[in-house]
Amino acid sequence: MTQMSILAKVSIVVLLLSIPIEASNDNSFECTLCNSFASVAVDYLQQVSTLKEVNDLFALRCQKSAAAAACDAVRTTYLPQLFDHLKPDHPTQLACHQSGYCGVDHLKRNDTPQKEATCYVCTEIFDLAKAFVNLTQDEFTNRLQLACHTLDFFDSVCRQIVVEFSSQIYTMTKEEVAPQAACTRIQLCGNDTTERRQLKQEANFESDCPLCGHMVRQARALQKEDQSELSLVTALTNSCALDDSSTHCTRFITEQFGCLFHRLNSKMTAEAVCSMCLSKQCY
């Protein structure tokens, strides 16, 4: 064994020991998802080197994914925070801890948009479950775990959710409970998520129009500097920290940016773009 390979192995051991116990033992769905996502990102770093290049590869993957909404939610929220901590020779657990998705820091992020991805995965599971509704509970659970592989890198967190909530998933699938409502019952979407989506659909956020107009104008100004979609999301999210209602601002970007981004280059006014994306008059 060469001196170089010995040093490499020692370095890996040191890195593994540097992962706090609370991060290593974190079996939250968000932490599992981070590790799966980070593993794919590290594989991409064997091919490319910049944040934009990794994001572009993920964007293509998300387009083909059976869980496209969840994939995009993870791509736009996890990647900007994770990227600087990702290294091919470093364990993903360390990157996820350093970014705050595993361990003590993760516990402080319960109200952030990362929860959206777990919610999306949960609703996908209930959609998959419909195909196995006539089986016994054991057969149902086994088939559903096998079906998780169709959700790409969400496979691990999918199986984790199925195992933990197998009885509830089986019962609610039998009762034909809607996926969103079912996931709210087992607290993977949360009442805040459900209420927020209902409020968005009913257009009850009076502050959305001026906030949206500001975001469109700011994004257009940044886009002139050749900013990518991911860079724009990161820049706009960072600007939310300066806002008194930063939580709502961040959530607004997470929910609406996809619609806004595809219309930034149009000749529509900011108000017209917002009216279309928010489904209400913003004049």
Q: Are 171 and 208 within one domain?
A: no
Which pLDDT score, from 0 to 100, does residue 216 have?
A: 85
Q: Following CA atoms 240, 232, 258, 77 in sequence, which dihedral angle do they give, to the nearest 10 degrees?
A: -70
Which pLDDT score, from 0 to 100, does residue 189 have?
A: 85
Question: Looking at the domain assignment, is residue 65 inside a domain?
Answer: yes
Give the residue, 277 or 156, on which the prediction is more confident: 156
Domain boundary (141, 158, 190) is at 190
Q: Are 66 and 144 within one domain?
A: yes
Highest mean pLDDT among 56-70, 87-101, 103-117, 137-151: 137-151
Which pLDDT score, from 0 to 100, does residue 149 have?
A: 93
Confidence of residue 242 (pLDDT cuts 50, 70, 90): low
Q: Is the pLDDT of residue 9 over 50?
A: no
Question: Looking at the domain assignment, is residue 195 inside a domain?
Answer: no
Q: Are 265 and 152 within one domain?
A: no
Question: Looking at the domain assignment, is residue 6 inside a domain?
Answer: no
Q: Are 76 and 119 within one domain?
A: yes
Q: Are 51 and 85 within one domain?
A: yes
Q: Is the pLDDT of residue 279 over 70?
A: no
Domain boundary (168, 190, 212) is at 190
Residue type, 112: T
Which pLDDT score, from 0 to 100, does residue 48 have?
A: 92
Domain boundary (136, 157, 190) is at 190
Mean pLDDT across the chain: 77
Average of per-residue pLDDT across 92-119: 68
Q: Which residues 6+ apart lie within 8 Å of 142 measured at CB?
A: none
Question: Looking at the domain assignment, is residue 198 inside a domain?
Answer: no
| 123-163 confidence digits (pLDDT tens) | 999 999 999 999 999 999 999 999 999 999 999 999 999 99
| 40-64 confidence digits (pLDDT tens) | 999 999 999 888 899 899 989 988 8
Q: Are 186 and 122 within one domain?
A: yes
Q: Are 130 and 260 within one domain?
A: no
Q: Is the pLDDT of residue 19 over 50?
A: no
Quote the number of domains for the chain.
Answer: 2
Query: What residue numbers bound the domain in which 246 lies?
Result: 203-278
Q: Are 59 and 177 within one domain?
A: yes
Question: How many CB atoms sit inside 10 A of residue 184's CB?
Answer: 21
Which pLDDT score, from 0 to 100, does residue 22 have?
A: 44
Q: Are 157 and 83 within one domain?
A: yes
Q: Are 236 and 268 within one domain?
A: yes
